[in-house]
Amino acid sequence: MTHRAALAAVAAAQLAAQGVGHVVALRRRRTVDVPFMAGTPEHLVRDWLWFGTAYSAPPYLLGPQLWAVGRLLRGPDDRARWVLRWLGTGLSLGYPSERWNRVRIRPGGFDPLETPVVAVGWGCAVAMAVLARR
């Protein structure tokens, strides 16, 4: 597997984790809850549009990631790699800032559905940031 293919695969897996995370967050009413802001269950969809959910980023971050994966699947693309590097870096820092993510990765906080979503999403975000470097 080439470096470009590995980056595209990791970024696609990260997108899939966010998709599953979005569904889980909607069903379990997990709103965004970071140190400087918290969403409300009544406005979960509206909050997702601007701030994301506990387990997924907002659509204005998912769109560029989807675009970059598509570009990398077609061939080498420095701009797509740059986008994935910055998104991966931001998501790598964003996952631990979210309260529900911290709860799920602590000992005693294991949930059979939420913990794997957080672990895969965060792990792929870190891998995306690292693989997208030159």
Q: How many CB atoms lie within 10 A of CB 130?
A: 14
Q: How large is the average pLDDT for residues 53-79?
A: 96
Q: How large is the average pLDDT for residues 94-107?
A: 95
CA–CA separation, 65 vs 121, rounded Å? 13
Q: Return the CA Rg of the chain.
A: 15
CA–CA separation, 51 vs 59, rounded Å? 9
Give the pLDDT score at 134.
Answer: 74
Q: Which domain holds residue 68?
A: 3-131
Task: Name the pLDDT band for 130 (thresholds 50, 70, 90).
Answer: very high
Q: Which residues contact 50 (CB under 8 A, 6 or more apart)?
A: 58
Q: Look-up: residue for tokens 């569904």? A: 23
Dump pLDDT digits (tens) for 9-46: 999 999 999 999 999 999 999 999 999 999 999 999 89
Largest CA-CA distance found in the chain, in angstroms, rounded: 45
Q: How large is the average pLDDT for residues 52-81?
A: 96
Say how many domains are in the chain: 1
